[in-house]
Amino acid sequence: MLYELVQSTVSGLLIGAAFAVLSVGFSLTWGVTQVLNIAHAAFALLAAYLGYFASSYFQVDPVLVLVVIVPLFFVLGVGIHQVLIKITAQRAHDLALSSMILTFGLAVVMENVMQVLWTPDPRVLKTSYTGKAIFVGPIAIATTHLISFVLAMLTIALLYVFVHHTLTGKAVRAVWQNPTGAALSGVNMGRVTNITYGIAVATAGIGGVVMSLIYTFDPSTDMVWLVYIFLVVILGGVGSVLGALLAGLIIGLTVGISGVFIPLVWVNLVLFLALILLLLLRPSGLLQR
Amino acid sequence: MLTVQNLNVFYGSLQALHDVSLEVREGEFVTLIGSNGAGKTTLLRTISGLLAPASGEITFRGERLNGLSTHDICERGLIQVPEGRELFPRMSVVDNLDIGAYPPPARRQRLQSREEVFRLLPRLEERRNQDAGTLSGGEQQMLAIGRALMARPSLLMLDEPSLGLAPILVKHIMEILQELNRQGLTILLVSQEVRLALSLADRAYVLENGRIIRSGTGRELLADTGIVSAYLGL
Ligand SMILES: Nc1ncnc2c1ncn2[C@@H]1O[C@H](COP(=O)(O)OP(=O)(O)OP(=O)(O)O)[C@@H](O)[C@H]1O
Ligand SMILES: [Mg+2]
């Protein structure tokens, strides 16, 4: 029992970092533009399929595919902002609601395209290190979990440095805290929101590859991931990089440890209950100052 | 330096400014007074490009500003300290100042500008790592002014910078503005501290119900008992 507890604590933490990187971009676009990008998880899933495709057809490691995915998804993010969000913002009265419906539609379209391209069958990523593990004493750490953890932490760290220590990153935070103040300080709002979307969708790509190292996926998995994303963002507070990391780790731990005591299929139920409790007790987020 | 000609601005069907014309010349200290709802904030927001005028022309150093976005206008050295300060509450004093230096021409001189701002407003240096949202009202106003100075403006517009502050702080802020003007900064000040603001002004305008109803030197308007008594109670 104790052994299982330690083992699941470790793997819970590793999984938690993946949840964090999957969610942090969603949190950024929500904070900066009040847009709930429901398609965020669909982009993550697309990246998972691209990694799967490259590794199964060209024997390229999915992690290496990120060299293509990250810049490609950055451009996609800018495109989403320019084409969908900006036009909606000009026409709609309630941006949050109409953008939610619009990006939900986009997610459905993407799911269907992925179903046509890759069939509804669940996929398992096979890499050269799948099934291998590192042992720390009696505790086994799957190499895939370890790699996904390192990748996730690296991404979060880079994002933290960007948002807190570069002028453009500070401008992102400024726009989200006070758009009028940012505009009057000479911040180019269009450019900053473009960059925010680019980075958000690029991190979704990383999140998708990282998740695919841990979980099997099929063309509708993005809706499950979306639940994790909502949990992380609401727990960690909208727009906060560190909040997303902490919340991701907490949820990873919850998933890991509750898996010891209850059947795995019930774990998502536990998460839903946690989400409802959270919304009732601390709607502004647990970790929000 | 700044010329506003026959400006008409609407909120929906409500007209907030009627044929407003005014001018600020290089090096001048110009004051704009007017009672609540006169349209002072509307005028400043229109000059900064946050509102689009229905008609009329705004030129700055010979260049037409109509249609430019707010960041383009800031880049040209026309900066505003807005009503209500509009700071970034969960960012430190230093980060708030850094954002002020966002316009590319100001970016390279960011560290030097920060030194200068700290020299002028030493209170900000003492609070440099504190979040803006936790500063006192007076400190927040200093920060709003400091952030605007980080852009190295050639014309600074201020919208009621002394609102809600203790008399001694009001005086302090006015002295700072006077000092900045002496150093060569052109100033357009909106204020309800009528007597003080008029005594500092080279020239002044009175805005009422969206129309400029009087203009003259600061001394002329101060001598006008009608104006002083009409606005002193505010
Ligand atoms: N966003 C808005 N929508 C509709 N009407 C507005 C809006 N902002 C201002 N107004 C109206 O326009 C007029 C001018 O307002 P403005 O804020 O420019 O006045 P002001 O001179 O700055 O007043 P104060 O001294 O109270 O700051 C007022 O009648 C106000 O009610
Ligand atoms: Mg006003």
Apex B151 CA angle, B158 and B124, nearest 5:
75
Does an H or E element contain B59, and which? strand B55-60
SS3 category, B3: strand
The mean pLDDT value for A234-262 works out to 88
Instruction: Report the residue from B48, B75, B98 with minimal CB separation from A184.
Output: B48
Lowest mean pLDDT among A47-51, A80-84, B16-20: A80-84
The verdict on residue A2 lying in a domain is no
Q: How far is B226 from chain A (nearest CA, A)?
A: 35
**H helix and E strand count, chain B:** 11, 10
Tokens of A215: 């979980």
Chain A residues touching residue B98 (CB < 8 angstroms) = 167, 170
pTM of the model: 0.88
The verdict on residue A3 lying in a domain is no
- pLDDT at residue B67 tops 70: yes
SS3 category, A11: helix
pLDDT at residue A256, as a whole number: 87
For residue B132, give the DSSP letter: G
- In Å, what is the CA distance from B127 to each residue of A30, A173, B92, B147, B161? 30, 20, 9, 14, 20
Report the residue among B7, B9, B10, B11 best suited for mutation to probe ligand 1: largest number of ligand atoms under 8 A from its CB.
B11
Name the domain count of chain A.
1
| Among candidate residues A35, A281, A275, A13, the one with its CA nearest the CA of residue A139 | A13
Instruction: Report the residue from B79, B99, B106 with minimal CB separation from A182.
Output: B99
Ligand with the closest atom to the CA of B208: 1
**H helix and E strand count, chain A:** 12, 2
Which pLDDT tens digit goes with each residue over A94-117?
777 888 888 999 999 999 999 999
**Domain region containing A222:** 8-281
Apex A174 CA angle, A170 and A178, nearest 5:
175
Does an H or E element contain A285, and which? none
Distance B82 CA to ligand 2 centre (A): 9
Answer whether B70 sits within 8 Å of A184, measured CB to CB. yes
Answer whether B82 sits within 8 Å of A180, measured CB to CB. yes
| Among candidate residues B22, B11, B25, the one with its CA nearest the CA of residue B213 | B22
Place of tokens 């609401």: A234
Which pLDDT tens digit goes with each residue over A21-43?
999 999 999 988 888 999 999 99
- pLDDT at residue B157 tops 50: yes
pLDDT at residue B232, as a whole number: 64
Instruction: Report the residue from B80, B95, B106 with minimal CB separation from A184.
Output: B80
Amino acid letter, B103: P
Provide residues with CB under 6 Å of ligand 1.
Answer: B 11, 14, 16, 34, 36-42, 83
Q: What share of chain A in percent tops pLDDT 90? A: 57
Answer whether B89 sits within 8 Å of A177, measured CB to CB. yes
pLDDT at residue A126, as a whole number: 85
Residue count (chain B): 234
Answer whether B70 sits within 8 Å of A178, measured CB to CB. no
The verdict on residue A274 lying in a domain is yes
The verdict on residue A289 lying in a domain is no
Helix axes A241-261, A264-281, angle to 10 degrees: 140
Buried b (16+ CB within 10 A) or exposed e, A49-68: bbbbbbbeeeebebbebbee
Tokens of A214: 């841990």
- The whole-angstrom separation of Cα B50 and Cα B52 is 7
Beta bridge partners of A154: none
* Residues of chain A contacting B, Cβ within 8 Å: 167, 170-171, 173-174, 177-178, 180-190, 289
pLDDT at residue A289, as a whole number: 47
Answer whether A173 sits within 8 Å of B88, measured CB to CB. yes
Which residue's alpha carbon is at the smallest distance from atom 28 of ligand 1? B37
- pLDDT at residue B234 tops 50: no
Instruction: Report the residue from B88, B90, B95 with minimal CB separation from A181.
Output: B88
The verdict on residue A148 lying in a domain is yes
- Asked if ipTM goes beyond 0.90, one says yes
Question: Regarding beta strands A133-136 and B211-217, do their DSSP bridges make them parallel or antiparallel, or are they unpaired?
Answer: unpaired
For residue A85, give the DSSP letter: I
- In Å, what is the CA distance from A34 to each residue of A155, B101, B180? 23, 26, 39
- pLDDT at residue B64 tops 90: yes
Chain B residues touching residue A180 (CB < 8 angstroms) = 50, 82, 86
What are the backbone dihedrals phi and psi of residue A83, each rounded to the nearest 5 degrees, phi first? -90, -55
CB-facing half-sphere around the CA of A287: CA atoms within 13 A:
20
Distance B41 CA to ligand 1 centre (A): 7
Confidence grade of residue A8 (pLDDT, cut at 50, 70, 90): confident
Confidence grade of residue A283 (pLDDT, cut at 50, 70, 90): low
Check if the beta carbon of residue A80 is closer than 8 Å to that of residue A26: no
Which pLDDT tens digit goes with each residue over B160-216?
998 888 889 999 999 999 999 999 999 999 998 888 999 999 999 999 999 999 998
Answer whether A173 sits within 8 Å of B89, measured CB to CB. no
* Residues of chain B contacting A, Cβ within 8 Å: 48, 50, 69-71, 74-75, 79-80, 82, 85-91, 95, 98-103, 106-107, 147, 151
The verdict on residue A193 lying in a domain is yes
Tokens of A119: 């069939």
pLDDT at residue A269, as a whole number: 81
Please give the interface size between A and B, counted as residue pairs whose CB atoms are below 8 Å apart. Answer: 74
Set out the domains of chain B in order of their start, with CATH numbers: 21-52+67-77+154-234 (3.40.50.300), 86-152 (no CATH)
Mean pLDDT estimate for chain A: 89
Chain B residues touching residue A189 (CB < 8 angstroms) = 69-71
Check if the beta carbon of residue B93 is closer than 8 Å to that of residue B132: yes
For residue A84, give the DSSP letter: I
Check if the beta carbon of residue A286 is closer than 8 Å to that of residue A246: no
- The whole-angstrom separation of Cα B8 and Cα B51 is 11
Nearest CA in chain B to A179: B86
SS3 category, A24: helix
Question: Regarding beta strands B55-60 and B186-190, do their DSSP bridges make them parallel or antiparallel, or are they unpaired?
Answer: unpaired
The mean pLDDT value for A127-156 works out to 89
- The whole-angstrom separation of Cα B79 and Cα B70 is 10
Apex B213 CA angle, B212 and B216, nearest 5:
90
pLDDT at residue A98, as a whole number: 84
- The whole-angstrom separation of Cα B173 and Cα B167 is 10
